[in-house]
Amino acid sequence: MRRVLSFSGYWQFSAVVLVALLAGCTAPRSVIHSGRVTPHGEFKVGANFGGNLSTEPIGQLKDVTEDAIVALANRDSVYYDGLVRSATKAAIAYTLDPFGPTFDFYVRYGVLPRVDVGYKYASGVHVLDAMYQFMGPVAGVSTRSANERWYGSVGLQYAGQSSNILDKLFLDKLSPVLQFTAKRRDVLVPLVFSRSFGADEEFGNISFGVAYNHTFVEYGLVPGKLYEKVGGGKAVQIEGLTRTQSFPSYGLFVNAKIGAKRIYLLPALSMFYQSYGTYELLKQEKADFSGITIVPSIGVQIGLGQGKTGR
């Protein structure tokens, strides 16, 4: 019988969402870059706070509560039913787009006059990226830089998350019944245009653009004490599965950098749409997922060094 979410259940679900928002591990898709890359020989360091608000996993989690999952996990044997199906769908949806807070700190370095590279540690995820500036003056080189205010750049970012994606969500309590494993890899390509406030972004900038993200997912469902009844009422353990899949995401973003003397405040907002695709569940059942993700953030950035081209 399908579990009905009571009034108290809604409060519990809200509490679960809050816990996930305080301890989640999310995909790093906030775009804080401007069209002007880090000047050659200089560093940028910073930190950001934000969130990954994804509609699909939040919608799937409304069908399960922590009490129901704990009760299920404490049974000696469990038969596949609607609750197990809902929990499986929620686990997959959360893996595809983990919702929760984002916190990251990063360092960037200008390796060439129009190229910089960066490393970011984002909520437990290691992120590497590079940006190439194809439009606008090179800091300290072009004599026209005081009058030119428009910049453009394109980048490539790689991030990976391992099988601990569900560790901060109550669905991991289902592991005695159903061991869920997952790995994901994300490749993000942002195209950024920006308008400088002052020469060479002396007082910051306003930036906007589009982003393409491609996610590669591998997930596994390994039943422990999960059974189904076959002819004659005989209990048979359900077979597990391992699958790989990928899906694209399409995003728009806007951000700003406001400050002076190399210390800046960075508010940013990104929005992505993705059709995650069709995913196989146990007993050859399938589920389709799609949704919108909103990624707000705010951070602080500090510029360091004098560079190799002068100021």
Q: How far apart are CA 201 and CA 196, in angstroms?
A: 5
Arithmetic mean of pLDDT over the chain: 83
Tens of pLDDT along 294-307?
999 999 999 988 76
Contact between 290 and 274 (Cβ < 8 Å):
yes
Contact between 23 and 16 (Cβ < 8 Å):
no
Give which of 261, 257, 256, 248 is closest to 293, Cα–Cα: 248
Q: Which region, left, alpha or beta, applies to residue 141 given φ > 0 means left and ψ of -120 to 50 means alpha?
A: alpha
Give which of 217, 212, 97 is closest to 156, Cα–Cα: 212
Half-sphere exposure of 204 (CA within 13 A, CB side): 17
Tokens of 237: 């353990």
Tens of pLDDT along 212-267?
999 999 988 888 778 887 776 677 888 888 999 999 999 999 999 999 889 999 99
DSSP per residue over 103-132, as a string?
Answer: EEEEEEEEEETTEEEEEEEETTEEEEEEEE
DSSP per residue over 141-169, as a string?
Answer: T-TTTTT--EEEEEEEEEEEE-TTTTTTS
Q: Domains for the chain: give ranges and CATH numbers.
A: 7-304 (2.40.128)
Predicted confidence band of residue 46 (pLDDT cuts 50, 70, 90): very high
Predicted confidence band of residue 20 (pLDDT cuts 50, 70, 90): very low
Tokens of 281: 């569940």
Flag whether pLDDT at 164 surpasses 50: yes
Identify the pLDDT of residue 11: 43
Flag whether pLDDT at 161 surpasses 60: yes
